[in-house]
Amino acid sequence: MMPLPRPPLQSLTDSLTDSLTDSLAESLTDTSSTGSALQTPRLSALAFAVLRLAIGRFDACASTQATQSLLQEASRLLLPQARFGLMQRDIDGCLELAEEPAEELATVIADPVATISPEDIEHAIESGWVAAAIKQGLHRVSWRGETWVLARLASPRFVHAVAIWIRAEIPALLHQPLLAMADLAALALDRLTEAPALAAEQKRHRETHPFGGHATRAVTATDPLTGLAQRAQFVQVLKQALAKPAVGQSVGVMLLNIDGFHRVNKELGYAVGDQILRSFAHRLESVFRSPYVLQALGIVSSDLCVARTGADELGIVVAQLRAPDDLLGVAGEVQQHLAEGFFQGAQRLYLSVSIGLAAVSPSEEDLSAESLLRSADSALKRAKSLGRNRFVLYDPVWGESGVLHLRIESLMHQALQDNGFRLHYQPLFRVADLALVGAEVLLRLSTSDGVPVPPSSFIPVAESTGQIVEISDWVLHRLCQQIRQWDRQGLPAVPFSVNLSAIEFSQEDLSQRLSKILSQHQVSPSRMHLEVTETAITRDESQAVANINALRADGFEVWLDDFGTGYSSLKSLKNVCFSGIKIDREFVADLPAHANTAVIAQSIIEIARNLGCSVVAEGIEEPAQLEFLRLRHCDIGQGFHLGRPVSPQDFEHRYLGAG
């Protein structure tokens, strides 16, 4: 994808609010008179406002000159006396300035009073300051009455450094914003130099190896869009880390997936998606190059490999990890860093990320890269199943259920091939007079020797593997066939309730898919009530709402299942027009003895009535529960007291009056 043209950037000063500009003026006045900026909340607010604005603009810099100009503008807003310089050393040790030769360094960025010469920079390198910055991430020293701060970002081809020097002491409140901007500038410089260097290296390789060869491996290991390592190099680094683990330390893996990224590509275009993915990669690198994260993990930057492992997935290998739990704090830092959002033109897009974490120690038997990646992927899937913006550390206990997971997955695959699934029907009755008004369709699965597999075991597996959509299609086809058979027999034409998964409600073609299946069998949508849980709605709310509206427009009734068990029950009712509400069995089980439960159940019935929705009470197992619901004018009842799930033949004879 071609990148979007970069619009001219508004100056940072023009972007600040009036109140912050006033704080800036007062702070600068105090600075000029006292030699250091005030340690005030106003200065702190100003510092982080400047940093917040700079974050989005560094990624928009199209040249090293623009990068240096932005860095200097941001720094001078906070410290007028400060001077910044961008330095670059290649892998051969040669020193260059980002935009000028090294010998002209003094005329570009030197203070006219206290001259900084190229020899000073060489001294910083020879004395080990730059090396310390490369190892530690940030390094601060005092020399010739000035404070020097060096930040770095090292890449496979270059070592970048940002030098900050100022004659006065840097206020403590400005340490973090200044160093963060230095790191951002180093990342921008790396982005601007990495791609040309890679292109030059590829050109040299083509000239010297016209027929290919193994030397291409080092070149193709870099992802052309993000500049990160590709999956092959990522796996190779992981294998090397596992092959020589340090005693008492672990190897960790983080897999990150941008929540709802497909919506960005769909609604804003792939060019915008590519731009955001680049920004995401650069932001992620800045997190893992920060001294806070390196210190938290107890590692140096050489212990890290950040890579693009999938279309919208990034991965990090962490070698020499002190403790697996350290990854949790870093995951939180990553999410906080990404919470700033991404600039798209004049607007900021806010995206969240789900993170799967896994670690293994030398004492564990299975040290394979494949096993560790599977663990991280399992953690990522679990994080996404919990909702957006979550991170989960893999628990080895999950591995004990892994074999069962595979067996169930295989069993479901075979059942789809051999019609091994079965449908059972649980009757629904009108509470007032116990007349049959429909049935809920329930899916059943058994092993080859007839042992039933509980839905609570196979449905989550089907959702995690994506088989749930294919299984849902099978259910709808089989139900339509059954409806047509009963209609030909002249039996009562009652509607049937079908549960749809969260995955299906996040798909754009749900209504078209269902309408096509029913049309194929000549079954009216009025014969089906579709049930959706609150969890399914919150997974991708905008798409779920669009699907519900489309389904209702096509003639389907849509019911809210398990009402009251989620955190957003009332929000669901506010945003979506449902045909009916199902009271979860949790609020029926304690009726009528439990006073609070009775109040909740009655309130749900009244809310539904005021919204014009029908109400189904699930889990009715005692006569007293049925009587309580009848007196509160609940519409429909379901439960073992009224009728258990039965086979099609039994449902036909017991409830439809056949034979």
CATH number at residue 294: 3.30.70.270
Does the residue 214 lie in any domain?
no
Q: How far is CA 355 from the centre of its chain?
A: 6
Q: Band of the pLDDT at 345, cuts 50, 70, 90?
A: low
Are 245 and 193 members of one domain? Answer: no
Are 291 and 361 members of one domain? Answer: yes
pLDDT of residue 588: 92
Does the residue 68 lie in any domain?
yes
Does the residue 2 lie in any domain?
no
Q: In the predicted model, what is the mean pLDDT of residues 341-370?
A: 77
How confident is the model over 631-641, as pLDDT tens digits? 999 999 999 99
- In the chain, the number of structural domains is 3
Query: 82: domain CATH number?
Result: 3.30.450.40
Are 252 and 136 members of one domain? Answer: no
pLDDT of residue 166: 60
Span of 6-15, 143-152, 177-186, 529-538 with lowest mean pLDDT: 6-15
More confident residue, 216 or 168: 168
More confident residue, 1 or 500: 500
Task: Enumerate the H helices of 554-647 as residue ranges.
Answer: 569-575, 595-611, 623-631
Q: Look at residue 625 and tell me whether its pLDDT is greater than 50.
A: yes
Asked if omega into 592 is within 30° of 0 (cis), the reply is: yes
Does the residue 639 lie in any domain?
yes
| Cβ neighbours around 542 below 10 Å, total | 12
Last residue of a domain, one of 198, 232, 262: 198
pLDDT of residue 542: 83
Q: In whole numbers, what is the pLDDT of the chain averaged over residues?
A: 76
Look-up of token digits 């899937």: 381
Q: Look at residue 115 and tell me whether its pLDDT is greater than 70.
A: no
Are 438 and 310 members of one domain? Answer: no
Does the residue 211 lie in any domain?
no
Number of H-type helices and E-type strands within the chain: 27, 21
Last residue of a domain, one of 400, 431, 448: 400
Q: Look at residue 341 and tell me whether its pLDDT is greater than 50.
A: yes
pLDDT of residue 427: 97
Span of 47-51, 126-130, 213-217 with lowest mean pLDDT: 213-217
Q: In the predicted model, what is the mean pLDDT of residues 510-525?
A: 96
Does the residue 482 lie in any domain?
yes
Q: Look at residue 205 and tell me whether its pLDDT is greater than 50.
A: no
pLDDT of residue 381: 85
More confident residue, 196 or 542: 542
Q: In the predicted model, what is the mean pLDDT of residues 561-565?
A: 77
Distance CA 133, CA 511 (A): 57
pLDDT of residue 581: 92
How confident is the model over 63-113, as pLDDT tens digits? 767 777 777 777 777 776 666 555 655 433 334 433 333 333 333 333 333
Are 160 and 226 members of one domain? Answer: no
| Cβ neighbours around 113 below 10 Å, total | 7
Are 394 and 429 members of one domain? Answer: no
How confident is the model over 428-486, as pLDDT tens digits? 999 999 999 999 999 999 988 888 999 988 998 888 777 899 999 999 999 999 999 99
pTM of the model: 0.49
Q: Look at residue 584 and tell me whether its pLDDT is greater than 80.
A: yes
Are 38 and 183 members of one domain? Answer: yes
Query: 452: domain CATH number?
Result: 3.20.20.450
Q: Band of the pLDDT at 136, cuts 50, 70, 90?
A: low
Does the residue 143 lie in any domain?
yes
Are 100 and 244 members of one domain? Answer: no
Are 333 and 474 members of one domain? Answer: no
Does the residue 207 lie in any domain?
no
Are 347 and 429 members of one domain? Answer: no
Q: Look at residue 347 and tell me whether its pLDDT is greater than 90.
A: no
Last residue of a domain, one of 400, 433, 454: 400
Beta pairing, strands 436-446 & 496-499: parallel
Q: Look at residue 564 and tell me whether its pLDDT is greater than 90.
A: no
Q: In the predicted model, what is the mean pLDDT of residues 251-272?
A: 87
Q: Look at residue 159 and tell me whether its pLDDT is greater than 90.
A: no
Q: Band of the pLDDT at 366, cuts 50, 70, 90?
A: low
User: What phi, psi does 394 have (nearest 5°)?
Assistant: -60, 135
Range of the domain at 180: 12-198
Are 168 and 275 members of one domain? Answer: no
In the chain the first and final C-alpha atoms are separated, in Å, by: 66
- Return the HEC string of 510-521: HHHHHHHHHHHH
Answer for the pair 510, 547: CB distance below 8 angstroms, yes or no. Answer: yes
Are 162 and 274 members of one domain? Answer: no
